[in-house]
Amino acid sequence: MMDSQRMIEYLMEVEIAAEDILADKQQIIDLDARRNRNREALNALRSTDMTSQKDKVKVCFGNMFIKFSTENTKAMIQKDQEQLDREINDLRKRLKAKVSSLNDLQGKSELQGYNLSPLSSEELNAINSILKR
C-alpha cells in the first residue's frame, strides 16, 4: 500500500514537471510567432513608400484600428520586439533548469552540451579579428 502511494506521488511529480516544460515550450512558440508578425510589420513599414515623416498608418489594437505616425509605430514595434526577445530568452534559460530537474526526477544523466550558450556579438567579433590575422 505504501509503495503504491509513493509511486503515484512520484509519477505525479514527473507529470507536473513535464507539463510545466511543455507549457513553457508552447509559450516560447507563441511569443516567437508574435515576434515574427512584428518583424513582418516592420518590414512592411520600411518597404512602404512614405513621402513624409508625418504619414500615418493604421495599427490594430485588440479589435480596433488607430492611426499613428509611421515613426511612432516603428518605435512601438521595436520596443515590443525587445520585450519579446527578453521574455523568450528568460523562458529558454528557465527551460534548461526545468529539463535538468525533470531528468533528475527520472534518474537520467544530465544532457551533454545542453547548458551551452551562443557567443555574444563582441566575442564573435574578437574571434573574427583574430582569425583574419
Residue ranges of the domains in the chain? 2-132
Q: How far apart are CA 96 and CA 92, in angstroms?
A: 6
Per-residue pLDDT, 114? 62
Per-residue pLDDT, 49? 64
Residue 95's Cβ-count burial label (10 Å; 0-12, 13-18, 19+) is middle
- What DSSP element (H or E) covers 57? strand 56-61
pLDDT in tens, the chain (133 residues): 678 889 999 999 999 999 999 999 999 999 999 999 999 999 988 887 655 556 888 888 888 999 988 888 999 999 999 999 999 999 998 998 898 888 888 888 776 666 677 788 899 999 999 988 7
**Domain 2-132 belongs in CATH node 3.30.9.80:** no
